[in-house]
Structure 1
Amino acid sequence: MRVSAGGERVRIVLDGGASVSRVSIGAATIALVKEGRIDTASLQHLTFSGAPDGLVLAAGAPLWSDPVALSIPDGGVVSVSLYLLEPIQVPQADPQLIVEVAPGGDQTAAAELTDSRRVVARPLLTTIHVDNPEVDRVIVAFGDSITDGTGSRDPLMRGWPDYLAERMRAEGMKNVAIINHGIGGNRLLQDSVGQSALARLDRDVLAMPGVTDLILLEGINDLGLSGLTLPGMHEPFPAVEAKDIIAAYTQIIQRAHTRGIRVIGATLTPDLGSPFPGYATEEKDVIRNEINEWIRNSGAFDAIIDFDTAVRDPENPAYLLKAYDAGDRIHPSDAGYKAMAAAIDLDLFR
């Protein structure tokens, strides 16, 4: 995982969610990654409430590690290894969430796992907290797969939040950290892949230490699934109108403002041409544009970012620009994510 702002002490947060009833931890380590390999010279053993093992993670409850000394550079990559004493089942997630698993004994101190394989799954590791006294601005990027970075070819550059952090480092903005809380397939109004944005706001934004700003880019999956009946479903998803999305945005703004957090609204990016039947239609694009006009002109947000304008085809604005399309007409490519990051006025965070 890439850390936007480095520091000298670090701790991790594990959370299996409500669907994982029990996780028994035998050992845990954290280390820097250099040239694609775990740097064992930097490896530190993690403890939880002073104990190195035997901790049980309960369903729905986060488990924080004790802080450990580890010098992480800004934009540095770290690896976390866990030895689990019992097998677990975790929910499947989008292709951005890849973990490496290996059978047998404790390999948490190894540079490479023996007999390992990669699986797509929701990882137990949810957050890495780095102590950095220089950081006085913490931004949460809150959204779905377009925030999570689906479509990116670089597994260590997760979408526009990482490219934004890269821009900020180049500008010497060492006081800013970015948390990526995008979940592929997530929706604003209803649970799907993970809890809805309305339901997870407390955990993923309001409970994060030091959060000052929230960038909200969510709602395209609500529109896409509106009225659709997927295999195995007996009834279609409820129809979603612009007023439903706007009401949810208003709730998020109000809840964040009670904590003194600025909310920056981001316009929904185009998705016409999607290969998923019924997901993107001209009728749904009318609703998307209605939502975007409200984001731009209502004055409800503390500031706005116009991602729609940044990545759409000027000749066919209901479509992603071909150079910015990862291939499915929904998710941006790395070039598209860079364009999104470039569309953000850094003065918003100075």
Structure 2
Amino acid sequence: MLKKIIKWSLSILALILLTVGSYVAYLFLDYHRLEDNLALEVTNQTSQDEFAVGQTYSMMSFNIGYGSYPSDYSFFMDGGDEVRARSKKAVEEALAIDKDLITSANPDLILFQEVDLNGDRSQHVNQVDYFTQELTDYSWSFAQNYDSSYLFYPVTDPIGQATSGLLTLSKINFQEATRYQLPIDTDINKFFDLDRAYSVNRYGTNSGADLVVINVHLSAYTKNASIQKAQLEKISQTMESEYAKGNYVIVGGDFNHALNDNARNDLTWMKTFPVDQLPAGFSVIASSNAPTVRNIDQPYNPNTTLTGTIDGFILSDNIIVYKIETLSNDFASSDHHPVLMSIRLQ
């Protein structure tokens, strides 16, 4: 009898080890990154082909949290309880709230982050299709920055597979758009982080210079400070190169760094933004009327939830800023608020 118990126990252990080993092998074999310097397909469908110097334009940056984080949601990666969006209907309701915010603000340019093409976490709602079909007054480009294997974590409720990216919309037609890789962790963390990247979206102006708009989402959970520094260095090289050509340069998105004085250096996603790393001629532009992000370790409580400002813009000094504000709706549809800015090229 004892021999049978030992035999069965060893068989079960061998099966577990084989399953775990097979899954680890699958992760390594399936892992891939898109190539660097990748030309993006753009869909031009507006009647305007260039920005006008001296005219005021509005611009929005919005991390939509793949439509899965209503105000009463808490996320397991931040210490909360939930993993995936609660339902397809919940995702669609969140996207509808986002669309209403956008149509009310009516920006000329929109930089979205965390937009899922497909994903278990977002109940397989194609969010690129949703926004490009609902906001038909905009031309657009999409840069993928996440295409995970099936992540069997947490084991009891896996987050699964997702394909996601950066969506840029504009009322002015694109000249071109390009996706560039960002440095990421090379250890086991690479399986859980995004395939970090930024998109460089180029537009013409009536001055002959280009307007270069960079959509970015920097790493949130890495504890490797050298990775965060290297990401900023690569973006800065692009900024500096374009500025040296006489172009107008805007970087917008989710920087996962505090853009004002509310830094929390104990959190990997709200450390002080290293302004001293920026090239000459550039400034950080951040809103102060309301926070742009909340911690999702628990449902949102305006009195107790940790909040901060990590979404905003970096501008070259040939662009005038007239206004920047957070469009607060108490995090009704995302763990981020959109940020709206008014600018003029000079």
Normalising to structure 2: TM-score of the pair?
Answer: 0.35
Higher relative contact order (CA 8 A, sep 6+): 2
Find the structure with the greater CA-based Rg. Answer: 2
TM-score w.r.t. structure 1 length? 0.35
